[in-house]
């Protein structure tokens, strides 16, 4: 990756993290307050954050569809479109369950890592361990060994 692309990636990450911090989404209690619809103490602030994200994302996607390639690359690197299957639904459910239990998801957790909050640091450690275990399982590392 060229230094120009690294600087732009760093600036994009800083902008994203700053937005999360400014909106209060680094606070797990705010996220849990949004998810607690039936509690009588619902915190709707996340709705405004999501609405603001849509105001930026929808025009950006429309612009991307009109461009032949991004500014700093020869082509877009978009994931392939795949049908909704059992793995996707189970993965989304697991993500939602983790989000609801911890009040954190990967973006805000990484952005809040430097705050020194033990809950966030523990979440990031568990997230990284989960990624490593998934990758090892996917690569066949945990397959049973056959005895000769």
pLDDT, tens digit, 9 for 90 and up, residues 6-47: 899 899 989 988 888 888 888 888 888 888 888 888 888 889
Confidence of residue 59 (pLDDT cuts 50, 70, 90): very high
| The predicted structure's pLDDT at residue 93 | 94
| The predicted structure's pLDDT at residue 71 | 84
Give the whole-angstrom CA distance, residue 43 versus residue 17.
21
pLDDT, tens digit, 9 for 90 and up, residues 67-79: 999 888 899 998 8
| The predicted structure's pLDDT at residue 20 | 86
The phi, psi pair for 26, rounded to 5°, reads -85, -5
Residue partners of 134: CB distance under 8 A and separation at least 6: none
């Amino acid at each position: 990756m060229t230094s120009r692309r690294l600087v732009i990636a760093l600036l994009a990450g800083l902008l994203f993290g700053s937005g999360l911090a400014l909106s209060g989404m680094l606070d797990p209690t705010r996220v849990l307050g949004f998810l607690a619809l039936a509690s009588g103490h619902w915190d709707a602030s996340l709705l405004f954050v999501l609405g603001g994200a849509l105001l930026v994302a929808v025009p950006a996607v429309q612009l991307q569809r009109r461009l032949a390639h991004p500014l700093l690359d020869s082509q877009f690197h978009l994931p392939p479109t795949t049908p909704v299957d059992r793995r996707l639904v189970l993965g989304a459910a697991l993500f939602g369950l983790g989000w609801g239990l911890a009040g954190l998801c990967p973006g805000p957790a990484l952005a809040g890592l430097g705050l020194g909050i033990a809950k966030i640091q523990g979440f990031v450690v568990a997230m990284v361990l989960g990624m490593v275990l998934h990758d090892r399982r996917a690569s066949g590392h945990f397959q049973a060994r056959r005895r000769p």
